[in-house]
Chain A
Amino acid sequence: MQIELALFAKLSARYPVGGSGREPRPLEVEDGVTVGALVERIGLADEQRITFVNGRHAADDLRLAAGDRLAIFPPIAGG
């Protein structure tokens, strides 16, 4: 199945497939993959991150569905 992956800020250097620049891009994944499994595959398991699926915060055990938009942000200090 295909999802859309959006990696923000410095995490955009970790896109696993082709595409241009920092733009979100489609990603082929197996049916029912969890957020956590996909994050580990991308190599972000040890990164501080805020993870949204379809515009809402998502836990790592959420199973993705075709067409979902997975967005991952690095929290950036300063305030």
Chain B
Amino acid sequence: MPAESSGQPQACPLDQAGVRARLADASVGIIGLGGLGSNIAMMLVRSGVRRLVLADFDRVEPSNLARQLYFPDQLGSLKTDALAETLMRIEPGAELTLIPERIDAGDIARVFGAVDVLLEAVDTAEDKAMIVETASDQLPDTPLVWVAGLAGCATANAIETQRVGDASWLVGDLEADVRDGLPLLASRVMVAAAHEAHIAIRILLGMPEA
């Protein structure tokens, strides 16, 4: 299916206050709070989303600071706790549900059954496949955004958003795999994160197509 058009800009159906009011009532789930998920959460909260379900079992490590929204004084903290601390500084009214667990196939419907949009933001191919397949089967009407291809130094313009199913959007360049030894650059990872955050916002605003 075609990528979203980069042609004429569409009119936004709401003004700034209207967008924030619409997003304030929405709930978004994020699985994985690394380079993608931590930055997606920040962009969503800054945009007006107040209710987030955030899942990650990991703790902040020094290597994370190169592209993830954590700080040296948070080393060793659970990512859920560290990110919540930062998000609450941005929006004290945020309502955050923290899930400091590894999400497996048996958890997705229970943990994310009430969200309006679910975002896959994990790093391994195995976990990505599990999340896409399980969420598609168990939450077939919940919009799911997932990522394939954000590593390396190639042009960031190769990263795009495309709708690949009734309730499924795919972000990425469909090529660059960290298993091929490619580095993860903050700039390119954040482009993919911004694509995920932006299509989530568009879905919530009722404009999920190009």
Spell out A's residues near B (CB within 8 Å).
Answer: 8-10, 48-50, 52, 55-57, 71, 73-79
Contact = CB atoms under 8 A, between A and B. Distances in A.
B151 A78 contact: yes
A9 B128 CA distance: 16
Contact of A73 (B122, B148, B178): B148
B85 interface: no
Given A9-B149, A57-B136, A75 B129 contact: yes
Interface string B171-206: 010111111001010000100000000000000000
Interface stretch (B30-38, B87-95, B103-111): B30-38
B148 A52 contact: no
Contact of B128 (A55, A56, A75): A75
Contact of B178 (A48, A49, A71, A78): A78
A5 to B, nearest CB: 14
A25 to B, nearest CB: 14
Given A48-B125, A50-B132, A79 B165 contact: no
Interface of B: 32, 34-37, 121-126, 128-129, 132-133, 136-137, 140, 147-151, 164-166, 168, 170, 172, 174-179, 182, 184, 189
Q: Is the interface of A mostly helix, strand, loop or mixed?
A: loop
A78 B178 CA distance: 6
Contact of B150 (A9, A50, A78): A78
Residue among B35, B133, B166, B178 facing the most chain A CB atoms (10 A cut-off):
B133
A55 B164 contact: yes
Contacts of B121: 79
Given A10-B175, A75-B126, A79-B121, 7 more contacts: A48-B126, A55-B166, A56-B136, A56-B140, A73-B164, A74-B125, A79-B36
A57 B164 CA distance: 11
The 3 A-B pairs at the shortest CB distance, nearest first, are namely A57-B136, A55-B165, A75-B125
Given A9-B149, A55-B168, A78 B132 contact: no
B149 A78 contact: yes
Among B165, B166, B176, chain A packs the most CB atoms within 10 A around the CB of B165
